A and B are shown apart, each in its own frame.
Chain A
């Protein structure tokens, strides 16, 4: 979990989402729908985006998990986070942890994505406020910064 090992005893019906929020106090992951339709509960598991509301805690055994708390720090934000601030791409903020994780995971695998590829990468996270445009631009700018090319 964000670079640290945890050994936990969990109930069989607990989801990864419940473990993150209730046992590990990581409140950045949100429950928007609980059925895998909104992506607000997105975390990175072994290099893949997953809906933590659909992963049973027991199924997350031995996996490497990254939540928003493991991305950037106040002193050194991740380029995606910096760009979202620069472009005012967040409104209510509810989808933002998931959007940042989706952007980060994309750039970790594909440092020079097209706008289309960025849209596909975030297509599992619904945003009710912004219309997505600035979020895509933010990820595009972060890609440029990380690969040393102006977007």
Chain B
């Protein structure tokens, strides 16, 4: 393991003070499940780590009028344990069940997963589909922005060296919503997603027409999670039936621009993305019919 120092802050302010005073070669660490392996493999060079794992002030999941606010140091296990029967609650249960392994979920944090900013991070497509906003804090104050803006490029976020991600929030979904999260890897658990898809559908009062659709994939046209906006637009006002699902799946196929790597070929990812998207739509449809 390459050498580094670890600073254990006594409070959030203490952590921010330390980051402000050490703007280079310094990174925050929490669950360590993404960062430690990368440090070992020398993919990241760091001199100082700030251990945020004890800052329980950022560990919360709360409802604030119509918004759900999740503290960035909430673990995936914390998310798993929340029993919320709303559409968004079920979507979060869906993704946490498929996230890593129980061992990883115990310590991995929501903030860590988002700041890792890659197509392997399961929470990002889900929060993109939820139109989530993030809040970054520093000693100079706080700033909020849509998650879409926060993820600038592969493994690059809008976070400044003296900031940490404090919270992610999204608006509650209305009762006529259904969601689905699909993930494909080489086995059932402990997998990196080759393809992952989050779909959120809202229907009208008749429950037969799509009022809005939000679709996010771990990779669409590049190496970071994105919303499939043209497919979303196409689905507006359509009847939620087999024909619509088939057309939307074909259209997604036309939108995809994927690449091959050592894990899977572009062709495989392309076909798998269509299948997962189709399944997600079908699951949403089934859930709407059931209600």
A residues at B contact (CB < 8 Å): 12-13, 15, 34-37, 39, 42, 45, 48-51, 54-56, 58-59, 61, 102, 120-121, 123-126
Contacts and interface: CB of A to CB of B under 8 A. Distances in A.
B101 A123 contact: yes
A15 to B, nearest CB: 8
Given A34-B40, A36-B33, A49 B4 contact: no
Contacts, number: 81
12 contacts: A13-B2, A15-B1, A34-B37, A35-B40, A36-B37, A39-B103, A39-B190, A42-B103, A50-B106, A51-B104, A56-B32, A58-B51
B4 A12 contact: yes
Contact of B103 (A13, A15, A50): A50
B103 A51 contact: yes
Given A36-B104, A54-B33, A54-B36, A48 B190 contact: no
B100 to A, nearest CB: 8
B63 to A, nearest CB: 25
B88 to A, nearest CB: 22
Given A13-B4, A54-B33, 5 more contacts: A36-B36, A49-B103, A51-B104, A123-B189, A124-B101
B152 interface: no
Given A123-B188, A126-B190, A56 B104 contact: no
B36 A58 contact: no
A55 B188 contact: no
B56 to A, nearest CB: 12
Given A39-B101, A121-B102, A55 B107 contact: yes
A12 B6 contact: yes
A56 B190 CA distance: 21
A7 B1 CA distance: 23
Interface of B: 1-6, 8, 29, 31-33, 36-37, 40, 49, 51, 53-54, 77, 97, 100-104, 106-107, 188-190
B51 A36 contact: no
Contact of B29 (A39, A49, A56, A126): A56
A124 B103 CA distance: 6
A15 B29 CA distance: 14
A37 B103 CA distance: 10
A49 B190 contact: no
A59 B53 CA distance: 7
Given A37-B190, A54-B32, A56-B29, A49 B40 contact: no
A102 B5 CA distance: 32
Nearest to A43: B103
A12 B102 CA distance: 26
Contacts of B189: 123-124
Given A12-B6, A56-B29, A120 B102 contact: yes
A48 B29 CA distance: 19
Contacts of A34: 37, 40
A58 B8 contact: yes
A111 B77 CA distance: 19
Contacts of B33: 36, 51, 54
A55 B29 CA distance: 11
Contacts of A125: 103
A51 B101 CA distance: 10
Given A12-B5, A58-B51, A59-B51, A49 B37 contact: no
